Structure 1
């Protein structure tokens, strides 16, 4: 039974990754040259949900995103079973106080810790 849950979670994470890769997720946020880690996590979660048609995933980002083209940060998507999927956020442009960024999920998930 545990493997069935893991398979479902892995499928769910794969659906998020495939959806993010196929659609070429992009998002933007109004900020003052920096987007807080919490706000970034919310923006990424909302964009992934909109792109995949799935509920908003649990996203955490370790640091603020500086509004400078080319800046990247890594966020983490955590599934209900504890498995994780890395998400890379890259600033593609800055228009005044608006940071536009791309979101790319990793191809494979990491299993839940035992």
Structure 2
């Protein structure tokens, strides 16, 4: 008889994804404007980590974003949440509006985590 088992990391990722999906998360950050405002990849990563921790009641997850988020409606980027066991979960960020120097965006975690690389 086969018995499926989830690691603690995958369980946390699944909980984070489920909570994020249920909450319909969004955020806004004020940034300095040159042409189109930009939110640095580091600031985006830390903001997402804080928002996901608050939404799930779990410690801040390790999130990395590959690029700055340009403050233009419809712009998207993909960030990666990495659990302690090495499994990963994608997080999509989409700019919903820009008010002066403030970038407003929604984010959504993927439904399914990717297992850790061997």
Gapped regions of structure 1 (runs ≥ 5)? none
Gapped regions of structure 2 (runs ≥ 5)? none
Whose helix proportion is higher, 1 or 2? 1
Task: Name the CA distance, whole Å, in 2 between partners of 1:50 and 1:29.
Answer: 16
- 1:53 maps to 57
- SS of structure 2 residue aligned to 1:101: strand
Q: Which residue of the other structure, out of 67, 80, 93, is the alignment partner of 1:76? A: 80
Moved beyond 4 Å, runs of 4+: none
Task: Name the CA distance, whole Å, in 2 between partners of 1:73 and 1:20.
Answer: 17
1:23-64: per-residue Cα shift (whole Å, max 9, x none)?
001111111200000000011101111111111100000000
Q: Which residue of the other structure, out of 98, 104, 107, is the alignment partner of 2:108? A: 104
Task: Name the CA distance, whole Å, in 2 between partners of 1:9 and 1:64.
Answer: 27
The total of aligned residue pairs comes to 111
Indicate the structure (1 or 2) with the bigger Cα radius of gyration: 2
Q: Which residue of the other structure, out of 69, 87, 90, is the alignment partner of 1:86? A: 90
Measured on the aligned residues, the alpha-carbon RMSD in Å equals: 1.2
